[in-house]
Amino acid sequence: MKWDLAVSGPVAGRWPHRVFLDAREREAFKTWDVPVRYAKQGWRAKLGDKCKVCDDSARQVAHKIPYKDGILKHGLTPSYLWRWENLVATCKTHNRTVQWGETRIKVHVAKLHRREPRAR
């Protein structure tokens, strides 16, 4: 199977209307790891230029649901994980601080399952 995944930024174009990966896609990510990702251009205009934890200068974009775990553990599409509502502006020190804990992620993913059944 050829895995065609050109990454020139967030992998947002591949799954524009889906939340969950199908079994083949998930297996490919497990085999070859998740793609490299880059912060969306213009993120400061959308998320602000201050860290949401300490109000220092924001230098990074953090994921509430961690990118790699969201894909490998929960089967979420990269495009879902790159939605603005999953991103937070942070300083380097607080990047992991804004990540949700496993319980909160599981509750959120369960809500998503009720809205959109997982692809088979």
- DSSP conformation class of 57: B
What does the alpha-carbon distance between residue 82 and residue 65 come to, in Å, rounded to a whole number? 10
User: What is the rounded average pLDDT of the residues 51-77?
Assistant: 94
Domain ranges of the chain: 23-115
Length of the chain equals: 120
Strands (E), 24-116: 60-63, 87-90
What is the C-alpha radius of gyration for the chain, rounded to an integer number of angstroms? 15
pLDDT band at 55 (very low <50, low <70, confident <90, very high): very high
Give this prediction's pTM.
Answer: 0.76
What does the alpha-carbon distance between residue 35 and residue 10 come to, in Å, rounded to a whole number? 9
In this prediction, residue 9 carries a pLDDT of: 41
pLDDT band at 119 (very low <50, low <70, confident <90, very high): low
- DSSP conformation class of 53: T
User: What is the rounded average pLDDT of the residues 65-89?
Assistant: 93
Closest listed residue to residue 70, CA positions, set 24, 116, 115, 35: 35
